[in-house]
Amino acid sequence: MHQVFLTDNLFDSLQSLPNKDLGRVFKTIQQIKKNPSNPGLKLHRIVESPDDHFWTVRVSNDARIVLYKKENLILICHADKHDEAYEWAKRRRVSSDTKSNSAKIVSLDEYETKKRKKPPFFKQNNNVDVKDNKAEELAKEPELLFKDHKDEEFLNIGFDAPELSLIRTISSEEDLHSLEPSFSESKFDKLISLYLDIEPQDESFESFEDNEETQNELIEFTDTQDIKSALSQPWEQWLIFLSYAQKKLVKANFKGSSKVFGSAGTGKTVVALHRAKFLIEKQKIDKVALFTFSRVLTQDLKIKADLLLGDSSKSRASLHIDYLEGEAGRIFNQHYGNRFKLTGDYTTHNTLKSIYEKLELQNDFTLEFVISEYENVIGPWNLYEFKDYKNFPRKGRGTPLTASQREKLSRCYMMLKKQLLDEGKVSTFDLYHMASDILSKTSERYSSIVIDEAQDLGPHMLRFVRSLTDKKHNDIMFCGDTGQSLYYRNHSWLQHGIDIRGKSSNLYINYRTSKQIKDYAEVLNEDILELTDKQVENRKSISTFNGPKPEIKSFNNQNEEIQGLVEWIKSKIKQGIDLHEIIVLSREVSDLKPFATKLKENNISCWELDASSNFIYNEVGLATVRRVKGLEYRCVAIVNCNEDQFPSEKELAKIGDISDEDDFLIREINLLYVAMTRARDNLYISHTGPSSMYLDNIEDYSKKGN
């Protein structure tokens, strides 16, 4: 019985085929799956290929499918015109890694070129003035990536002498990536760690025992519709193969909870989805839940889960997907019915202001401080009563409080909670706390939970997550990136009964964002280092592909900036980029309106992405930066990147505690980082007048020729 799988290479190759042949490709793939030995398929071995397991299958007079056939395994690798298909196979082989149980298609042209030691870039010519700077620059040998690493370092971690010789030729990230097929996945992972100067991770977990069911990580498509769905979404290429580092985490057997963190684009969501699939299908765990931070991200996850598991499959039915606030609301409403309505920050803060004035606290505290204390201490930790608040350590808060001051504040916050409940309202903090209390008295639990975008979980959320499942092996996996944290966070997860010590792993290979965009975004780390003396989590990663240099545009007035955006979008449309692959971001919703008006005047359809929006695939998106956290687009434009927007002067004025300013500025840097790293290929940043101070280092970096 043959197993037939599609590779990510196939998806790339289909882009060059005309539509009339695509349908025939789908039909032929189904015929292969049904009976690979059918003589009607007209299989021909490609004798000129260095790998004798490559065959072609006739699709039409002009088109062929290339497949790899070995024993009972068939990989459908490539589809192209007749001559091009044969030429492709002549330059390819399949490299296997027994440790990671994976296979890769290797381009021999690139592989052989990179294997050879590179000659000097420049050979001295008597007619060239050696004093000329450019000549001197060219005459220099390329700087090798691992020149500071001794041979013993590589030999001690498992590399052999021939591999070491190859490593000594690497002079760029591009070289490093091109040589990936030359090493096993585990060794390549070690090379990445050495290059990024990352300490080996303390992994006190083991893999589930490999068996026939857990070994194959390829996705088997069941019908033509599955194939068509996969081809319609570029992201789905990620669902075919997992990297060695990702696969290791998906299959890991953790003693309790675990954490998977990595910078933007390193595949955390991919790990989250595959982890859920693995637990359901391979470990036979029922009642698995996948949670994220927002309603928009929930929609995105559901689309991807439908494709990965099959929207009508038993596996998909076993996976519950929601955003945490929605889950808390569901549990709350089941218990209380419709007695209470969730209230937002605006109403809560206004109510708190009226109580503050009623109690005449103006002589003791500023209103900004009272709100800040509620948002960062009282609400997250459920400290309304004085007995709970009296001796609470208030870690990270810069304004000391006496017992009498705490008593006054406690009276204010108790009145707030009572007034909201009397009015049939409940704050977001209380929604989580009350939902946690409900769960503590019931047996409703999930068997296992996976959390995406976990970096912004506050104490109230972590308490709720902990209450959703019992403590046991593989109970919770958290996936996130502290570099994308947009909310106040100063607490230990251990305080909430979540122990991830020795079970934390980082991903360092960026699959989504071009090297150029990634490098620009990582410059922001310099601003963070200036604000804190704390150890900053390593944001470094390496990108798997190159793209155009990001554009930063300065304009004299907003009309010019708006017109500049219109011209940029038109240029992308001319390049064949679809409207839904473009998003325009700003700090505030109101800032987007004049841009939307001008786009429509130029017959460019656009829509505003909000919490309740369904995804629209034929229009340019408009959104605030916070709204697109966790999403990705081919082209991203960030407008109004002005000095009063990043950081926000309006938000800065609301700071109520002396310790809050640096934390606020770090979150503002993270906000711009999130915006920039939503882009895959093209990034455009514009401002009117003086730019955000965070662009200073980026523009300096750009001027240096980067």
DSSP character string of 411-436: HHHHHHHHHHHHTTEE-HHHHHHHHH
3-state secondary structure of 629: coil
Contact 260, 505 (CB under 8 A): yes
C-alpha span between 563 and 565 (Å, rounded): 5
Instruction: Indicate whether 120 pLDDT > 60.
Output: no
Report CA dihedral (277, 282, 288, 291) to the nearest 10 degrees.
-30
Instruction: Indicate whether 673 pLDDT > 70.
Output: yes
C-alpha span between 633 and 577 (Å, rounded): 11
- Provide the pLDDT for residue 632: 86
C-alpha span between 467 and 549 (Å, rounded): 47
* Token code pair at residue 344: 């937002």
HSE-up (13 A, CA, CB side) for residue 474: 23
Instruction: Please give the average per-residue pLDDT across 665-678, as a whole number.
Output: 89
- Provide the pLDDT for residue 129: 39
- Provide the pLDDT for residue 512: 79
Contact 208, 253 (CB under 8 A): yes
C-alpha span between 695 and 706 (Å, rounded): 14
Number of Cβ within 10 Å of residue 403's Cβ equals 10
Instruction: Please give the average per-residue pLDDT across 241-268, as a whole number.
Output: 84
Q: Map 7-73 to HEC letters.
A: CHHHHHHHHHCCHHHHHHHHHHHHHHHHCCCCHHHCCEECCCCCCCCEEEEECCCCEEEEEEEECCE
* Burial status of residue 319 (CB atoms within 10 A of its CB: 0-12, 13-18, 19 or more): buried
- Provide the pLDDT for residue 553: 94
Strands (E), 228-355: 252-253, 258-262, 288-292, 319-323, 341-342
503 band by pLDDT with thresholds 50, 70 and 90 = confident
- Provide the pLDDT for residue 487: 55
Q: Tell me 378's DSSP state.
A: I
Instruction: Indicate whether 115 pLDDT > 60.
Output: no
Q: Tell me 677's DSSP state.
A: T
| Cα 486 from chain centre | 15
Kind of pairing, strands 341-342 and 425-426?
A: parallel
Report CA dihedral (322, 323, 324, 328) to the nearest 10 degrees.
-60
509-544 residue pLDDT tens: 887 788 899 889 888 877 666 665 544 455 677 887
Higher pLDDT residue, 230 or 49?
49
236 band by pLDDT with thresholds 50, 70 and 90 = very low
173-207 residue pLDDT tens: 777 766 766 676 667 777 877 877 765 554 455 66
632-658 residue pLDDT tens: 899 999 999 999 998 888 888 888 776
Contact 105, 10 (CB under 8 A): no
Instruction: Residue 653: name the closest of 346, 416, 371 by CA.
Output: 371
- Provide the pLDDT for residue 132: 43
Q: What's the mean per-residue pLDDT of the chain? A: 80
39-65 residue pLDDT tens: 778 888 888 887 788 999 988 888 899
Q: What are residue 63's DSSP bridge partners?
A: 81
Q: Which of 127-136, 267-276, 380-389 has the lowest mean pLDDT?
A: 127-136
For 585, phi and psi rounded to 5 degrees? -120, 150
Instruction: Indicate whether 659 pLDDT > 70.
Output: no
Sign of CA dihedral 459, 465, 467, 471: negative
Instruction: Indicate whether 73 pLDDT > 70.
Output: yes
405 contacts: CB under 8 Å, gap ≥ 6 = 364, 365
* Token code pair at residue 554: 């300065």
- Provide the pLDDT for residue 319: 95
Q: Which of 100-104, 333-337, 497-501, 679-683 has the lowest mean pLDDT?
A: 100-104
293-320 residue pLDDT tens: 888 889 888 988 888 887 778 889 999 9
* Token code pair at residue 122: 């420049």
402 band by pLDDT with thresholds 50, 70 and 90 = very high
DSSP character string of 309-352: H-TTSHHHHTEEEEEHHHHHHHHHHHHHTTS-EE--HHHHHHHH
Instruction: Please give the average per-residue pLDDT across 476-505, as a whole number.
Output: 75
For 148, phi and psi rounded to 5 degrees? -90, 0
- Provide the pLDDT for residue 684: 97
Q: What are residue 555's DSSP bridge partners?
A: 688
Instruction: Residue 142: name the closest of 120, 126, 117 by CA.
Output: 120
What is the Rg, in whole angstroms, of the alpha carbon atoms belonging to the chain? 28
- Provide the pLDDT for residue 221: 38
C-alpha span between 31 and 459 (Å, rounded): 54
Q: What are residue 518's DSSP bridge partners?
A: none
- Provide the pLDDT for residue 201: 53
